[in-house]
Chain A
Amino acid sequence: KAGVTQTPRYLIKTRGQQVTLSCSPISGHRSVSWYQQTPGQGLQFLFEYFSETQRNKGNFPGRFSGRQFSNSRSEMNVSTLELGDSALYLCASSSGTGGFYEQYFGPGTRLTVT
């Protein structure tokens, strides 16, 4: 099986711009979760989508949004970028929703905001 893929792998944006990141889950997986990883904060949960519905949401401002398509692919959008949004954004897919299911992570998208 192909693993979780994320595009693009690297991105440089300017403060105030918006960005869209893409995640393709493992075939058959219906759940996609997004995380922000920074050196000092570890893994911060953004949101989880299951069958096109947002199931869980972390404590992030409304500038962070996401969606999931009928083929389970997911996108994450960040509007009005701030310098503090520079991070590695990881997506993970699983066969079910919630914390009981093994999460398969992609390699991440490294976002740099200047």
Chain B
Amino acid sequence: GENVEQHPSTLSVQEGDSAVIKCTYSDSASNYFPWYKQELGKGPQLIIDIRSNVGEKKDQRIAVTLNKTAKHFSLHITETQPEDSAVYFCAASRGSNYQLIWGAGTKLIIKP
């Protein structure tokens, strides 16, 4: 069945450095790729998403890149700050009427 692999499971970076989280999907029909951030004690929240007709999307310090040929997409966070510490989930979907397939999550730790 459809699968989304996410790496690494834990990422520790120095405050101010960049962080990159990578996901690989198996279903070539997937065309929507959101990223969610889950802070301690809260439910996940959408932070950025990309559709398959776009290769890259940026929103201030975060960006997502998509390589459809290789079937992988990545989340990039620049100039990391303490409030970026959280668990990040990637997901993929074929679209309407199809559920999201989730990655296992990456715990991002920002060291002061």
Q: Specify whether A and B are partners.
A: yes
Q: A residues near B, CB below 8 A?
A: 4, 33, 41-43, 45, 48, 55-56, 58, 90, 92, 96-103, 105-108
Q: How many A-B residue pairs have CB under 8 A?
A: 64
Question: Which of B44, B45, B93, B105 lies in contact with A100, CB distance below 8 A?
Answer: B93
B interface size (C-beta, 8 A):
25
Stretch in B11-19, B55-63, B76-84, B96-104 touching the partner: B96-104
- Beta-carbon nearest neighbor of B51 in chain A: A100
| CB–CB A92/B43 < 8 A | yes
Q: Given A48-B99, A97-B97, does the pair A42, B89 have CB atoms closer than 8 Å?
A: yes
CA gap between A90 and B45 in the complex, in Å: 12
- Beta-carbon nearest neighbor of B44 in chain A: A105
B102 neighbours in A (Cβ, 8 Å) = 42-43, 45
B96 neighbours in A (Cβ, 8 Å) = 96-101
| CB–CB B44/A98 < 8 A | no
